[in-house]
Amino acid sequence: MKRSWQLFWHVLVWTGVILFFVIVVHNNTPMSTHAIVVNFVLFGLINITLFYLNYLVFIPRFLNRKRYGVYIATILVTIIAYGLAKYSLALIFKEDVLMHAKGMKDAKKELIGFWSYFSSTLFTSIIFVFLSVLLKFSVDWFLNERIQRDLENQRLTAELAFLKSQINPHFLFNSLNSIYSLAYQRSENTPGAILKLSEIMRYMLYECNDNKVDLSKELQYLQNYIDLQKIRFGHNAYIDFKIDGKVTDQKIVPLLLIAFIENAFKHGIANDSLTPITLFININQQNLQFYIQNKKNNNNRDAIGGIGLHNVKRRLDLLYPGKYNLDIRDEIDTYTCELSLVL
């Protein structure tokens, strides 16, 4: 089907070009209809065969294989051969092709000489060869650009899939550590924590397969995670979590904000009522402002950590290019993250 469309457009373009010259010449010169057909239709088709001979045979066989010398020699021989063939055909239609009237309509016609006609055919042939080379390189350039875009999209898709695949085991690893601590302490909150984790995992497995999800679902996911951490810490968990703005039909890339909250609980101090983890989200129709700050726990540094924040930075670069601003301040006693995002 694709080749049929290509053939259709090629035929349509050449038909349009020939008709254009036929109409223009017919309206502006005293040439007979027969002479116009011979000069612009018959010889036009001959020039078109030269165009496709170069486009379909010589360029792929010689030029694309960098056999430049052979290509130039072949083109020169072909142009000369076409010139001789055109002159031979012109002799058959001498009255229409080689007889040229000078001056007024009724002026006496003169015969065009061989070299004069031959040089003009060479010029015409060179133009058609140049056009075929121009078309071939233009088509190849567009095809290469499309291939490069497809390859880049495939690479980005694979990278995003890899980054997203890291989120689940990373989150599960941290959550299981929390539940393990509860189970080790024989806490009565262990069943509730497992239930809350199952709700979180259900969201991650079944709701996050699309490129973007409802912002309301993502916020509920964050709330579930915070509730899980509160179960872990019991009554000694202090987090100031506020959401301002109206949540309607906004969309967001799933699992984008959780890394900041995980980082605050894992490396911060959550059991100090004087310095609670501060989490503030402001929402309007097209923008989201995310702010989180925690007091640093200098005795709880994970040398293997850092996957989460590196992951989210890379996802922001890929999914929100030019549409976000991330400010991370690692100070002596506090760690602060501010994210401005165009939804």
Residue-wise pLDDT tens digits, 76-93 = 999 889 888 888 887 887
Q: How confident is the model at residue 282 (pLDDT cuts 50, 70, 90)?
A: very high
Q: Which one of 119, 149, 179 terminates a domain?
A: 149
Q: How far apart are the first and last CA of the chain?
A: 40
Residue 173 lies in a domain: no
Predicted TM-score of the model (pTM): 0.54
pLDDT of residue 7: 74
Same domain, 193 and 50: no
pLDDT of residue 174: 66
Task: State which of 50-54, 106-110, 261-265 shows the largest mean pLDDT.
Answer: 50-54
CA separation for the pair 135, 46 (Å, rounded): 18
pLDDT of residue 229: 80
Checking if the pLDDT of 305 tops 60, the result is: no
Same domain, 265 and 333: yes
pLDDT of residue 14: 80
pLDDT of residue 152: 64
Q: Which one of 149, 177, 201 terminates a domain?
A: 149
Same domain, 250 and 145: no
Same domain, 135 and 192: no
Mean pLDDT, the chain, rounded, equals 79
The number of distinct structural domains making up the chain is: 2
Same domain, 333 and 213: yes
pLDDT of residue 125: 87
pLDDT of residue 273: 79
Q: Higher confidence at residue 1 or residue 47?
A: 47
Checking if the pLDDT of 104 tops 60, the result is: no
pLDDT of residue 183: 81
The domain containing residue 241 runs over which residues? Answer: 187-342
Task: State which of 2-11, 116-125, 163-172, 323-332 shows the largest mean pLDDT.
Answer: 323-332
pLDDT of residue 271: 81
Tokens at 187, concatenated: 């806490």
Q: What is the CATH number of the domain that holds 240?
A: 3.30.565.10
pLDDT of residue 288: 94
Same domain, 57 and 127: yes
For the segment 310-338, the average pLDDT, to the nearest whole number, is 87
Q: Which one of 94, 120, 149 terminates a domain?
A: 149
pLDDT of residue 303: 43
pLDDT tens track for 113-146:
778 778 888 888 888 889 888 888 888 888 877 7
pLDDT of residue 199: 81
Residue 167 lies in a domain: no
Same domain, 33 and 105: yes
What percentage of residues in the chain have a pLDDT greater than 90? 9
Checking if the pLDDT of 102 tops 60, the result is: no
pLDDT tens track for 217-254:
899 889 888 888 887 776 677 888 999 988 888 999 88
Q: Higher confidence at residue 12 or residue 335?
A: 335
For the segment 247-269, the average pLDDT, to the nearest whole number, is 85
